[in-house]
Every structure is written in C-alpha cells, then in structure tokens.
Amino acid sequence: MRIIAAQRINGATRSQTRRCHVIARRPLSLPRTPSMRPHGSRGRPALRFTPSTRPLATAAIPVDENSVPILGAATRARELAPELYRRLFELGEPYVVFDDVLGNDVRGAMLEDALALRRRDRFGPSQSVGSDGVPFDKEAVLSCEVEPTDFDDAPHLLAFTRDWLLTLPPALNALLGAERVSPREYGTKLAVQMASGRYPRHVDNACVDGGGPRDKRWITCIYYLQEPGWDAGGALRIYVDCDDDDARGDAQGEGVDVAPTGDRLVCFFADRVVHEVLPAAADRWALTLWFVGNDDAECAADRAGAGLRAAHFPPG
C-alpha cells in the first residue's frame, strides 16, 4: 500500500502522483507469535502479539494474556465519540479538546515508549510537501511511523493506536448514519519538536488538484505526551475565524492557542482548519492519528479553498 508523501520518512520511496493515498490499511496488527488463533467472527485474524522484553513503564497498567498493555483506549474512544460528533458535526466547532483522556500512568508509559524509539534512532526529519510536490524538512522536528515491529520498544503506543483506530470509526459512523469514516484506512505520526523548532501555518490536507499530492485525511486527532501542566511553549495555534482570504500570509482570523499539556487530545477537520505550532523551550511530543474519509467525493479538488491551499503551501 502506498503512503501519503508528506508522512513517509526514513528513506522510503515517496510517491509524487496526484492521486489520493492513505498511510495504511487494516487490519492494524502487531507482531504475532508463530501460532495463529482462528479468525474472529468478522473474518479478521485474532491478534497474538510477541511479548515485549522491556518492562512495562508502570505496574498500574495491566496486560492481557498476550502481554499487550490494557490501556482502556477503546472504551475512551467510545465514550468520547458522541461529544466529538456533536461538536464537530452538529455545532460546527472548529476544534474539540478533551483532557484527562487516559490518565497519567498511560501517558507516562507512552512517553517512555517514544523515548525508547528515539534512543533506537527510529526518528528522521519530519517532512511536508510543497506546491511543486517536492518534500522538504520541517525545522528541528523529527518524526516516525510506529510500526508493528516496534512492539518490543513501544507496546503502549501501538496498543493505543490500534484501539483508537479500530474503535472510533465505527462509533462515529453509527452517529453519522453512514460509513463516512473509513474503517480500513488511516494515518499515524509520532513527532518530537525540539527547542527552536516549529510547524509553519498549514492545513493538514489541502487536497489540491494539480498543486500537490491529494489525500483523503479527514479528521486529525493529536494526543500529547508531556507531563500534565507542561509550560514550555509549543502551543497549537488554531485560526478559528479564518476564511479563504484570511488564510494567506498573516491570517487576520482570530488565533486560539491550545497548550500541549499531557493526556490532552485535540481533534479537528484535517482539510479545513488552518493551524501552526509555536516554538517550544523543550522537547514537545505528540502522537497524531488521521481518520480517512471513506468516499472519494470527500477528496474533491475544491474542498479546500484557494486561501487554505495558500496556507498549506506558503510561498518560498
């Protein structure tokens, strides 16, 4: 399966075609033991995971019979889905913030996973793609896609990602009355923004026809791994009153800063919300999940207006 050009790193080939691509397809699985259990009731393989040789970050987190951490992420996704639906789809709010999503023990374990991956040199320069289709590195920002083969170092990150990606799409689709969020396609990125680094103003998915790679990412969810009450900067600045004209250059729309405090989840439409990340005085960790529109019509060329495209592909 080919991958969104802006997200693939670590030496992989980047596709430059003008088609919609997604990062991965289901089933979302982690490494299996040699023995495989029978298929589940829906025809998907029942997952068995290779136990991690790294001690769990905290004894407060139980594990299942396959030594996979039990985080409660699937339960939280089901609990938060109605409020996410109400505020994004019914009220039309530009973004939604949830605090105390999983608890400090789980957050801390996920941060330990991220640090373990960094020690193993799993990160590379985080990239975006310009209007000419050429990738460029973001300044002082590193990222990686956590793979099933990383389970030994990152069992909590993978368990969270699996549970959230398998649970939220059907929960939202039940509220939407149709399968508008793909249960098969998704995107992920774990990123660390170092001191002096920042994310310039952009739209995650400008969905441009002829002006850059098109993709189908629809909803962005960002989970922050810092300690609760973290005050070293790195705020997510969201332009909540930003129309097409305002999105160019110095946006005139009102900017709202959301602190990247630990155990916080921020959700917004990937193709509509202009945002940036301000400089931080210390390493700022974030795990981003992208939920994909299930209909190719969701990737229409005019979905992001000219102003949003300008914000995503700034001159120079």
pTM value is 0.77
> What pLDDT, on the 0 to 100 scale, is given for residue 58?
54
Nearest to 24 by CA among 219, 159, 186: 186
Residue 199, CA distances (Å) to 141, 191, 274, 292, 298 in order: 8, 11, 12, 22, 26
Nearest to 235 by CA among 273, 177, 206, 276: 276
> What pLDDT, on the 0 to 100 scale, is given for residue 33?
33
pLDDT per residue as tens, the chain (316 positions): 223 322 222 222 233 333 333 444 444 554 433 332 333 333 333 333 444 555 554 568 999 988 899 999 999 999 999 999 999 999 999 999 999 999 999 999 999 999 999 999 999 877 665 444 456 667 788 999 999 999 999 999 999 999 999 999 999 999 999 999 999 989 999 999 988 777 777 778 766 544 445 578 899 999 999 999 999 999 999 987 654 444 333 445 678 999 999 999 999 998 888 888 999 999 999 999 999 998 765 554 444 455 555 544 444 4
What are the structural domains of the chain?
24-29+73-312 (2.60.120.620)
Half-sphere exposure of 75 (CA within 13 A, CB side): 5
Secondary structure letter of residue 105 according to DSSP? H
> What pLDDT, on the 0 to 100 scale, is given for residue 9?
22
Pairing state between β 181-193 and 135-144 = antiparallel
Q: Where are the beta strands (DSSP E) in the chain?
A: 24-25, 95-98, 124-129, 135-144, 181-193, 199-202, 217-224, 236-239, 255-258, 265-269, 275-277, 284-293
- The position carrying tokens 């039940």 is 174
